[in-house]
Structure 1
Amino acid sequence: MQIGEPTPRRKLEPLCDKIGRDNVERVVHDFYGRLQANEMMRPFFANMGDFASHESLIADYWWTVMGGKVDGPRPFDMLGKHQALNLHGAAFDTWLRIFEETLLTYLPPELAQRWLQMALGIGDTMKRHLGLQNN
């Protein structure tokens, strides 16, 4: 590049475009299957009811967090929904470990790490708001 030449424009590509909606749905579906199979996590989902609807909502949540758009408003109340579960610090740690394993099953390590970083930030925020930062 020479002095006076225009600077090439960088194309910003949201994480959702790099991962793809199909992969988001695969990760969410497999992740919830793994949670239900885990002895510590299973009780938190005992009264869930319509799992397909929940998975769809969570896939839409992650899609929007990564920069995607969904049709119509979606009721994302992560704090309110998780507050009633009486979660503890070990449950968050297990959730994140299983989430990381699931991400690495479907995504290249660099994309898995980027999504995991989002999950870690969201998890820290939830733990802080639920009073679990020291658990």
Structure 2
Amino acid sequence: MAANKSYAYVGLAGETAPGRTVKSGLYRLAEGETEWELKGSGLPEAPAIRALAIHPQKPEIVYAGTQEGPYRSTDHGEHWEKVNVPDHGQPVWSLLYSPRDSNVMYAGYEACEIYRSEDGGENWQPIPISVRFPEVTMAPGA
């Protein structure tokens, strides 16, 4: 694999229903190629990928939010490892690198929880939040 090759990533999180084929997983398209590759080594079985984050300075580092928590790849998605977050394996719906500091990351969870890492995703702490889904409102005209 060329070190300077660019990649595009797409996550699928198909919902199940009787009689419906469900597609899920993480796919990668290499620069100059036309075929998407399924990349799942180390991810949970039938991964539902709902969030992706690529390190802004180190594109070989990719995070994927799954139904079992976040996973990390350090080789452009070839291999994945579960990230050690004290989240009890909840589904991840969003992942974000801070635009001011690429060592700071956030992970948003289905259970209205947010976790923050200040060391590039090695250690995570919950962020206390007081807003819960039923309390979210929007101002008229916003």
Q: TM-score, normalised by structure 2?
A: 0.24
Q: Which has the higher helix share?
A: 1
Asked which structure has the greater RCO (Cα within 8 Å, sep 6+), the reply is 1
Point out the structure with the larger strand share.
2
Q: TM-score, normalised by structure 1?
A: 0.25
The structure having more radius of gyration, on CA atoms, is 1
